[in-house]
Structure 1
Amino acid sequence: MSANLGQSSLRRKRRSADPMAAYDGLPAPLRRWLSEAALPWSPSSARRIWSRSLGKGLTPEETLLSLDQAEAKTLSRDKIVITSLR
């Protein structure tokens, strides 16, 4: 069942919580962003960046841009090139 994790050289992590329940609890704009993300983000990682950005006074749109930047930074560390559909 590793087919939907994509082709990435980055290390995978085990999760102890129910990822679908965590995903369902995310704000709608963040869920939409995750559905289009190039990498398989965990709901807790996405929520952490979302909360931190909103806490700094960023708008939801600016927060989504910070998520794009975080994803780009992670992709730059990947040895396999992944193209984004955005």
Structure 2
Amino acid sequence: MELIIKIMSCIYALFFVFYIYYFYKYIRLIIKLKKINKEQVIDNEFKIKQKKLKRNALILWLTFLTLFLIFTTITYILVYAKK
């Protein structure tokens, strides 16, 4: 049982790292977009890249949230169901 909780914690931490990485990339993209907006030159390829990055960040955020809920539910069942 403790092994399962440790494995789940590792998976949870891994997704958290990916979540922070995509958030960092998203913030960098927003900063880059603000600089480009000052020059008023935006190409379609950049807009497509921005949409893909936003979608990936949203998917990873939802995955992170789902994993958090699953992890807490299973932990609750494993720890408190014995009582």
Q: Tell me the TM-score normalised to structure 1 length.
A: 0.29
Q: Higher helix share goes to which structure?
A: 2
Higher relative contact order (CA 8 A, sep 6+): 2
Q: Tell me the TM-score normalised to structure 2 length.
A: 0.30
Larger Rg over CA atoms: 2
